[in-house]
Amino acid sequence: MSSETLPAFIESSNVERKQSLSEEQEKTQKPRVGEGFEPISKRQMKKLIKQKQWEEQRELRKQKRKEKRKRKQLERQYQLESNSDGNDRKRIRRDVVHSTLRLIIDCSFDSLMVLKDIKKLHKQIQRCYAENRRALHPVQFYLTSHGGQLKKNMDENDKGWVNWKDIHIKPEHFSDFIKKEDLIYLTSDSPNVLKELDESKAYVIGGLVDHNHHKGLTYKQASEHGIDHAQLPLGNFVKMNSRKVLAINHVFEIILEYLETRDWQEAFFTILPQRKGAVPTDKACESSSHDKKSADVEGGLDSDSSDEENSRHELDSQHKEEKQDKENSNQSTVNSVPH
C-alpha cells in the first residue's frame, strides 16, 4: 500500500469504527424485553395526557378565577351605589337591638373528632357567625377552647376568621371566665326543659360533631362540673320522624329566632329542615286520634258483620230443626197406618 492511499484508508476505517460504535450505543439504549422494562398501558397513558393538559391549563384557570372575583366585586359595588348611597343599609342596622344573652360554642371536644367532622364543625360555626351578624337581636357570641385541629383547619381554609366582628374567640374554657351560676348547658339528654330564655344567662352549645358516637357526653360533663343543664322544648311543640339531636347551627338559629318572635313553635318550624319531618304536636295528636277512631269504626263494622253472621247461622239451624221435626212426624204417621 502506497503512502498516498494510507491516510484515506485510515480515515475510512475511523468512520466505520464510529458508525459501529453508534449502532452499539443505540442497541444498548433500546429497552429489551425481560430487563425490567414495563410497557405503559392505555389507562396510564390517558392519565399522563390528562395530567399534562391539567398542568398546561393551570394559568388559564387562574385567570378565570381572577375574572370571576373581579366580576363579583363590580356587582357588589353596583348594588351599593344603587342602594341610595347606603341609606337603606344604615336604616336596617339602626333597627338591630343587641341581646345581652351570651351564647357559647364549647370547642373542647377537639380530640374526639376526626378531620372530616372538624371540617363540618367549622362550617357550622361559619353559619352561626353569619346568622348572628344578620339577626335583628344578635347575641353575645363566644367560641371557647379554640385551638387544635379546629384552629389549624380555620387557618388553612378560612384565614379571614381573624377579622370576624362581634364574636369573642378564646383559647380558654368557658368556665375560666364565666360564673358557674350564670351557665346553662344545652343538651338533649337533660331532663330539664326550657320554658323561656333568660338573657342574663350564658347558654352553652357543645361543639361536637360525632354522629352519636359519644351519647350523653355533654350532659355528663355538665353534671360532673355542677353546671345547670336543660334542653330546648322541642317535644312540647314538635313531633319528628328522626332523632331529637340537632346540629349546632340549628340550635343557634332557633335561639336567634325565638329572641325575635318569642314563640318557640314558630322558631322551630322556621329553622328545622324538612328532612326532619317535623309536624306540630297538636296535629300529630289529631292524626293519631283520627287513626284510632278509624280503627274503632272498622272494628265496629267487623263486630256488626259477625253478629249478623251469627244470627244467620241461628236461623238456619232453627229451620233445619223444624224441618227435621216435620219429617219425623210424617214418618210416625206412615208407621201408624194399618196395612
Please tell me the predicted confidence (pLDDT) of residue 22: 58
Q: Which domain range does residue 166 map to?
A: 102-276
Residue 20: inside a domain: no
Report, as residue numbers or ranges, the catalytic residues: 210
Residue 271: inside a domain: yes
Separation between Cα atoms, residue 26 and residue 188, nearest integer Å:
77
Q: Which of 145, 189, 149, 187 is nearest to 168 (CA)?
A: 145
Region 121-147 average pLDDT:
96
Residue 234: inside a domain: yes
Please tell me the predicted confidence (pLDDT) of residue 290: 47
Q: Which of 39-48, 85-94, 152-161 has the highest mean pLDDT?
A: 152-161
Q: 239 φ, ψ to 5°?
A: -115, 125
In the structure grid, which three cell numbers stand for residue 44, read together? Answer: 396510564
Q: Is 86 exposed, middle or buried (0-12, 13-18, 19+ CB in 10 A)?
A: exposed
Region 234-253 average pLDDT:
85
Residues 6+ away with beta carbon under 8 Å from 96: 135, 136, 137, 138
Provide the 3-class DSSP secondary structure of residue 169. Answer: strand
pLDDT greater than 50 at residue 239? yes
Residue 114: inside a domain: yes
Residue 152: inside a domain: yes
Contact criterion met (CB below 8 Å) for 200 and 179: no
Q: What is the pLDDT of residues 2-18, one digit of tens each?
A: 555 555 555 555 556 65
Residues 6+ away with beta carbon under 8 Å from 193: 230, 231, 232, 233, 235, 236
Q: What is the pLDDT of residues 43-70, one digit of tens each?
A: 888 888 888 887 887 787 788 778 878 8
Q: What is the pLDDT of residues 139-155, one digit of tens each?
A: 999 999 999 999 999 99
Provide the 3-class DSSP secondary structure of residue 302. Answer: helix
Residue 304: inside a domain: no
Q: 319 φ, ψ to 5°?
A: -60, -40
Please tell me the predicted confidence (pLDDT) of residue 245: 78
Please tell me the predicted confidence (pLDDT) of residue 89: 47
Q: Which of 22-31, 79-88, 132-141, 265-274 has the highest mean pLDDT?
A: 132-141
> pLDDT band at 331, cuts 50/70/90?
very low
Residue type, 225: H
How many domains does one find in the chain?
Answer: 1
Q: Which of 15-19, 70-74, 196-200 has the highest mean pLDDT?
A: 196-200
Residue 88: inside a domain: no
Provide the 3-class DSSP secondary structure of residue 36. Answer: coil
Separation between Cα atoms, residue 214 and residue 148, nearest integer Å:
19
In the structure grid, which three cell numbers stand for residue 254, read together? Answer: 332557633
Region 157-184 average pLDDT:
95
> pLDDT band at 76, cuts 50/70/90?
confident
Residue 95: inside a domain: no
Contact criterion met (CB below 8 Å) for 98 and 198: no
Q: 227 φ, ψ to 5°?
A: -95, 135
CATH number at residue 125: 3.40.1280.30
Please tell me the predicted confidence (pLDDT) of residue 223: 94
